């Protein structure tokens, strides 16, 4: 690929692009667009322009005169429209602009969203939220032939005008808005589930990764229904939200907002460089885009720490699996074994603590160490003991720290085979029936709290691969 040239045929100047919005402190756009310019071999740069509302009237004409093109994000996607000479059909349809070129406003949100590859014709779609991205998703799925679109919103009466607008624009579709309680009742009374669930809310966004946009029990109900074939979360930080992980654990295809973010940017580059648009369809560029998406995941992991907690019955392979996952991720994640940390702190083995201070005191120490470790800076992968996460208050600690819980779900037979001869496991010093009872007591508790469930009867390599792929780290 060659750099763009000016009319004299010499190498072009460095092109200038940027993003306007407020606040912009954590934007990934410069990283993405600089990478895309490099892929196209175009000399260019991309800057952030964090503007207060009072600066728009003065700065917009200046930026349109000095930049080759720019993007726009919240809160100015609608406020920018009066400054533009024209709008693309998509920008008119959605009433908002996120890309500007030569004074014309475009909207690439829809193209980015549809890059997820879901097929909505004839489907029932549940959209969580009624903000800007939810509006775009609603238009997209209706255009694609969805027969019914249901919104969950805290203010269903305020959505009436918008529902009427959608019904008028797409008469073949059916549109409804429910409060969370109304939605739960509607789901209970309707035997048919949804084919797609799309999150347009910030619930689960870093640093509040414990959030879910749907009530957990309702979401699990919907995940268990045979109609559901896809879940999309507009959030891209973390890439694997609880919403995404729970879908993956249920075997449902789940797509992160990072994919949408990347392909929004690709569409913007096509607008700014129409003569190079076809390059994005080549096998070489597609492969580089795939690598770029993986690199963006790693970037997010380094910049925005996550707390991942492995739980499961003794013998599920938490320690060995955790070490291998951490080895794959390198310095991005700090691996800690909770039992080892406790032994190091109190200078006794687990068996000695059970014998000298009793299980109750050991659990207190275990809970205190859990809280201490999760409060540390940086991304952490924590392997816990079999009883650590099922004691009172443990899950709440993980959620308070924005953590996500990964269950290594092992069969009793495999657990016993792996644990045979391990004198460090005090609870194995019981008869077989007591161990069976303990397993049957704990497994439902593990399953209830888990965001992601991995079959721990699989070999180490397979367990590691499943964790990395579900976290979208491989």
Q: Which of 4, 38, 59, 77 is catalytic?
A: 77
Averaged over 286-300, what is the pLDDT?
93
| Portions of the chain given CATH number 3.40.50.10860 | 15-107+273-297
CATH number attached to the domain at 15-107+273-297: 3.40.50.10860
**Known active-site residue 102:** no
Return the sign of the alpha-carbon dihedral for residues 100, 104, 110, 112.
Answer: negative
- Write the pLDDT tens digit of every residue in 196-252: 999 999 999 998 999 999 999 999 999 999 999 999 999 999 999 999 999 999 999
- Write the pLDDT tens digit of every residue in 140-171: 999 999 999 999 999 999 899 999 999 999 99
For the record, the structure tokens of 214 come out as 């749907």
For the record, the structure tokens of 367 come out as 């809970």
User: 52-59, long-range: CB within 8 Å, 24+ apart, which pairs?
Assistant: 52/22, 53/22, 53/79, 56/80, 56/83, 59/20
- Are 29 and 265 within 8 A, CB to CB? yes
How far apart CA 180 and CA 186 sit, in angstroms, is: 10
Q: Specify which residues 126 forms β-bridges with.
A: 150, 197
| Portions of the chain given CATH number 3.40.50.300 | 305-470
- Write the pLDDT tens digit of every residue in 359-416: 999 999 999 999 999 999 999 999 999 999 999 999 999 999 999 999 999 999 999 9
- Contact residues for 263 (Cβ-Cβ < 8 A; gap 6+): 111, 112, 115
Residue 1 has pLDDT above 50, yes or no: no
Q: What is the mean pLDDT of the chain?
A: 93
How far apart CA 73 and CA 80 sit, in angstroms, is: 10
Q: What is the 3-state secondary structure (H, E, C) of 211-228?
A: CCCCCHHHHHHHHCCCCC
pLDDT for res 418: 87
Averaged over 169-174, what is the pLDDT?
96
* Residue linked to tokens 């040239």: 5
Q: CATH topology for 305-470?
A: Rossmann fold (3.40.50)
pTM, two decimals, is 0.89
DSSP codes joined into one string, 336-402: EEHHHHHHHHHTS-HHHHHHHTHHHHHHHHHHHHHHHHHTSSS-EEEE--TTTTTSTTHHHHHHHTT
| Portions of the chain given CATH number 3.40.50.720 | 116-259
pLDDT for res 429: 62
How far apart CA 434 and CA 429 sit, in angstroms, is: 10
Name which CATH class applies to 116-259.
Answer: alpha beta
Residue 7 has pLDDT above 70, yes or no: no
């Amino acid at each position: 690929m060659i750099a763009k040239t000016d009319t004299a045929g010499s190498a072009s100047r460095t092109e200038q692009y940027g993003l306007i919005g407020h606040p912009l402190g954590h934007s990934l756009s410069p990283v993405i667009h600089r990478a895309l310019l490099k892929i196209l071999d175009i000399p260019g740069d991309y800057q952030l322009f964090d503007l207060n509302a009072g600066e728009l009237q003065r700065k917009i004409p200046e930026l349109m005169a000095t930049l080759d093109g720019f993007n726009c994000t919240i809160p100015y996607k609608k406020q920018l429209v009066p400054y533009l000479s024209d709008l693309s059909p998509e920008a008119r349809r959605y009433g908002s602009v996120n890309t500007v070129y030569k004074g014309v406003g475009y909207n690439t949100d829809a193209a980015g969203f549809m890059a997820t590859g879901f097929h909505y014709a004839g489907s029932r779609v549940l959209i969580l939220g009624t903000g800007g991205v939810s509006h775009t998703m609603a238009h997209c799925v209706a255009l694609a032939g969805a027969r019914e679109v249901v919104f969950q919103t805290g203010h269903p009466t305020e959505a009436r005008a918008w529902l009427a607008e959608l019904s008028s624009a797409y008469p073949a579709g059916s549109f409804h808005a429910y409060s969370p309680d109304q939605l739960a009742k509607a789901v209970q009374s309707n035997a048919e589930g949804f084919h797609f669930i799309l999150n347009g809310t910030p619930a689960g966004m870093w640093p509040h990764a414990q959030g879910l946009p749907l009530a957990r029990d309702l979401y699990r109900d919907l995940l268990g229904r045979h109609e559901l074939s896809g879940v999309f979360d507009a959030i891209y930080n973390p890439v694997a939200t609880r919403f995404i992980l729970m879908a993956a654990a249920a075997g449902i295809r789940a797509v992160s907002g990072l994919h949408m973010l990347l392909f929004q940017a690709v569409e913007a580059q096509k607008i700014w460089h129409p003569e190079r648009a076809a390059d994005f369809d080549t096998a070489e560029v597609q492969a580089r885009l795939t690598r770029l998406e993986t690199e963006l995941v790693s970037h997010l992991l380094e910049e925005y720490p996550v707390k991942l907690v492995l739980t499961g019955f003794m013998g599920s392979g938490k320690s060995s699996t955790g070490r291998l996952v951490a080895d794959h991720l390198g310095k991005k994640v700090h691996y800690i074994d909770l039992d080892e940390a406790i032994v190091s702190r109190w200078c006794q083995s687990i068996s000695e603590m059970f014998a000298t201070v009793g299980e109750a005191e050991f659990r207190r120490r275990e809970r205190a160490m859990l809280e201490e470790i999760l409060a540390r800076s940086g991304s952490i992968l924590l392997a816990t003991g079999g009883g650590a996460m099922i004691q009172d208050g443990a899950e709440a600690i993980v959620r308070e720290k924005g953590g996500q819980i990964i269950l290594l779900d092992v069969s009793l037979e495999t657990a016993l085979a792996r644990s045979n001869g391990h004198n460090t496991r005090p609870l194995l010093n019981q008869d077989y029936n007591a161990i069976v009872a303990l397993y049957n007591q704990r497994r439902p508790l593990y399953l209830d709290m888990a965001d992601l469930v991995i079959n721990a009867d699989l070999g180490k390599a397979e367990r590691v691969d499943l964790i990395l792929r579900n976290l979208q780290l491989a």
